[in-house]
Structure 1
């Protein structure tokens, strides 16, 4: 009597009308597998040259490199550092908004952006960057934070780190070249 209520149709079962069939050519044919780095693992001197070339190609200015040892942290320390970083980030943004408004204006931030900083909110296209990662000796302090433009500065800094990871430099040498930013605001 109620047969019509027992039939459950799924969007996935609809072959011709499903979204998956419409974009079948874009879906991967094989499951994703972990890719190993190709070629040799560069020496620290070779890696520094490669990173300097990328810094020049990206157009990053006033960025130096520092070779730092990897120091694994315990879960307790990571958790504590994470909590301290969240609190410190809010304080850092307020300090920028209230005490360094002239510097923010010189960096190209508008008055409305400075008002956001005073509320502990990052303006659009800006991030609080940790200068030295915690696993490489950095501390969750205000001195280890700076306000950077997300595009292209922050993206390029993380691209430099990812480049080294893709080359298995950290795995082999237990070190990374960390881009060092001077000051509290990096906008170019």
Structure 2
């Protein structure tokens, strides 16, 4: 079961954190509350049910809603939220670096790195993607890392700025890189 959640991406954004402060709330306390709510919702799940959490940064007509690295929420999100996998958007600079992955619990969770954009049809350089996977492996074990597109190819019926053929090219690229790396 994949849960799509935009709240964590908002909590990564300096602008959104400023807005939270201006309305009198504490972004760090909100992160702890959100973690408790997710964990409460997942209590009693069947042992054979795998739960993934996609930290969605927006995907409407090739646009986005949030920017900022995962550092502000990393310790709470990766260290306390009881899911089996995190689907993280890392397709551009607005997602920050991989250092926050140091909080992923060793041997407990998968980290699915969305290094392939679904915002446009241009194919990523496979060597560049492999280099980024190696960089991420400095913070979390390579065996816990997976590769995927950063988000779905169409979050709404309007879709994104790429063709169906380009989407399949992206899927083939992910498969090719993954077979070479793992």
State the TM-score, normalized to the length of structure 2. 0.23
Which is higher, the Rg of structure 1 or of structure 2? 1
Which structure shows the higher helix fraction? 1
Tell which has more relative contact order, 1 or 2 (C-alpha 8 A, sep 6+): 1
| TM-score, with structure 1 as normaliser | 0.22
